[in-house]
Amino acid sequence: MESALYYVTVALGFSIVVNLILKRFGISQIIGYIVTGVTVAYLFDLRHMADSHTLEIIAEFGVVFLMFTIGLEVSLQRLSTMKTDVFFNGSLQVLLSAVIFFTIAYGMIGISLKTALITSMALSLSSTAVVLSYLKSTKEIARPYGQKATGILIFQDIAVIPILILIGFLSSGGEKVTDVLFETALSAFVIVGLLFIVGKRVMAWLLHFSSTSEVEELFMGSVLVIVVASSLLAAYAGFTYSLGAFVAGMIIAETRYHHKVESDIAPFKDLLLGTFFVTVGMKIDLALFVTDIAQIMAILVGVLLIKALIIFGVVRIYSQTKIAFKTAIALSQVGEFSFAIFALAGNQKLIPEELSKILVLVVVLSIIVTPFILAYLSKISGYFFKDVSVTESFSMLPGRQNHIIVCGYGVVGKFVAKALRAEGVDYVVADNSYKHVEEALRDGEEVYFGDMSKMAILDKLCTKDSISVIITLDNLEKKRLICETIIRYAPNVKLVVKVINLEEKRALRGLPISITIDGKKEVAARLVTEALHCEI
């Protein structure tokens, strides 16, 4: 245990230096961590540490915290809107990928039935750690292809459970499959029930108690307890750690604490996720790679192409071609859960050791190339699809003065933009919804994709030099967050905020907002005015 923690500390320290160098060349920090793993493993002769159980547990909790933060963004209400992406796209992708890979492995190459079955299931999974961390850091998760990719990855995370059950069933020999399925279904029902019924109340009470104490360390400790306890509870029932953390995140997403929880947990997630990628690098067998480079590269290219084609076909059923293409390219790699699948299958003698090593190298290489592919995904899709894209460069804005910023392009935002255009006023529109941005582009508006609760976006919009900001959003929490950020960043800018009722007006009363417009009140006043006018 102590030696594993010592080597983790050394590796993370070394990764800081590597990432600082790679950052100058615009290379993803994920690559820096993997390079660190390779370098440390061979420089200090630590190849044996790649299979350390303690190190694997530490590294896995990086994925756990990542899935927890994803859960914070996927509330039950939002999950219900993503049911097509999660359950239809996800299940169809995993099933078709597994069937095709099995057909190739068993029917064409001649691998044994059990080995082909396990290998095909493992190759059908994509990398949650790489793809979701990229989508979150670049805000691409809000785009249509980001939503599709997230939904499929959520289902893949759930699909790990039956895969692990299958390995246990294939190695047990005597146990009936119906008994295994019944026990798993019962465990799932109990765990989800405990988390949503008992855990929801406990989490809400714990977060409320720790937040009212005004002791930051106590709140942080409460969050860590929730994440670890939920993960251990799920693992105890035979599921993955990350699935328990994801459910816990979904529960907290329904509370008012989810934004603070997400910001507090970020350092732990990033540090442990870095550890995970270091262990990925330590698994690279350079000698085997040099010896079998042709075979490994052939398998890698084949897997990437087959998965991309399958995902494209699945997503294209309900989505545009460009969205399906970007989703397919983003998810074409093999996921980190395959390491656990190959390791477990290897221990049970269900997969030959030589094949397992080759497949691990294929997985690692697919993970390594993914950050480069994702970084140039828009350019790649641009070669094939000449479509209207979201304005993200803010190239027209530098030096902009005396303009009005319209925050939100919903129903009210559209009317505001139309009225400003009729008056000949200089204005720009900003929205964090890709759908709304596309609508604005089709309407010929100057629109920018970005979250106005971030100071970097306010800076690019030249908010300090604007006349006023009109906030037309419906979400009260988001409105308050944007108002607070604008007040801190540009306190002299006039804020005009739409509210839908008196409760919202009271909730925003503490902020120095210039004008709040109550939609219902204004409609009532207009109705009375028109009625009196008719009478006269």
Please give the backbone phi and psi of residue 404, each rounded to the nearest 5 degrees, phi first.
Answer: -110, 135
* Integer angstrom CA distances of residue 353 from 45, 178, 341, 345: 21, 30, 13, 10
- Write down the residue that tokens 């604007």 correspond to: 466
Q: Tell me the torsion sign for CA atoms 299, 117, 62, 40.
A: negative
Q: Which is nearest to 288 in space by CA: 365, 210, 232?
A: 365
Which alpha helices (DSSP H) does 82-143 contain, by range? 83, 90-102, 113-123, 128-137
Q: Indicate the angle between helix axes 258-282 and 53-73, nearest 10 degrees.
A: 150
pLDDT score at 178: 66
Q: How many CA atoms lie within 13 A of 478 on its CB side?
A: 13
**Does residue 65 come out as left (phi exceeding 0), alpha (psi in the -120 to 50 range) or beta?**
alpha
CB atoms within 10 A of CB 536: 4
Report the distance separating Cα 49 and Cα 41, nearest Å.
8
DSSP 473: -
pLDDT score at 389: 47
- Amino acid, single-letter form, for residue 77: Q
| Residue 285 burial by Cβ neighbours in a 10 Å radius (0-12, 13-18, 19+) | middle
Which alpha helices (DSSP H) does 424-495 contain, by range? 434-442, 455-460, 476-489
pTM recorded for the entire structure? 0.65
475-497, pLDDT tens digit by residue?
A: 888 888 888 888 888 888 998 88
Here the tokens at position 5 are 């923690």
Check if the beta carbon of residue 68 is closer than 8 Å to that of residue 133: no
Please give the backbone phi and psi of residue 154, each rounded to the nearest 5 degrees, phi first.
Answer: -60, -45
Here the tokens at position 91 are 């299940």
Here the tokens at position 187 are 């465990």
Per-residue pLDDT of the chain (536 residues; tens, 9 = 90+): 555 556 556 666 666 677 677 767 666 677 777 788 788 778 776 666 655 666 667 667 777 877 787 777 666 766 777 788 888 999 999 999 999 999 999 888 888 888 998 999 999 999 887 898 888 777 677 677 888 998 999 888 778 777 877 776 777 655 565 666 676 677 767 777 777 777 788 888 888 888 777 677 888 888 888 888 888 888 777 776 777 888 888 888 777 777 778 777 777 777 777 777 777 777 778 888 889 899 999 999 999 999 999 999 999 998 888 889 999 999 999 987 887 788 778 777 888 888 888 998 898 889 889 988 998 887 888 788 765 444 444 544 556 788 999 999 988 899 999 889 888 888 999 988 877 888 888 888 888 877 888 887 888 788 888 999 999 888 888 888 888 888 888 888 998 888 877 777 777 777 777 777 766 677 676 667 767 766 55
Q: Indicate the angle between helix axes 2-23 and 53-73, nearest 10 degrees.
A: 60
pLDDT score at 388: 45
Let me know the angle formed at the C-alpha of 335 by 305 and 371, rounded to the nearest 5 degrees: 70
Please give the backbone phi and psi of residue 469, each rounded to the nearest 5 degrees, phi first.
Answer: -120, 125
Check if the beta carbon of residue 348 is closer than 8 Å to that of residue 170: yes
Distance from the Cα of residue 514 to its chain's centroid:
36
Q: Which is nearest to 351 in space by CA: 109, 16, 112?
A: 112
Please give the backbone phi and psi of residue 527, each rounded to the nearest 5 degrees, phi first.
Answer: -60, -45
Report the distance separating Cα 429 and Cα 437, nearest Å.
9
Q: Which is nearest to 312 in space by CA: 323, 301, 302?
A: 323
pLDDT score at 199: 79
* Rg of the chain taking only CA atoms, in angstroms: 26
The contacts of residue 524 (CB under 8 Å, 6+ apart) are none
First and final C-alpha spacing in the chain? 87
Report the distance separating Cα 375 and Cα 137, nearest Å.
12
* Integer angstrom CA distances of residue 385 from 79, 241, 248, 379: 30, 40, 39, 10
pLDDT score at 119: 93
307-337, pLDDT tens digit by residue?
A: 999 999 999 998 888 889 999 999 999 987 8
pLDDT score at 231: 85
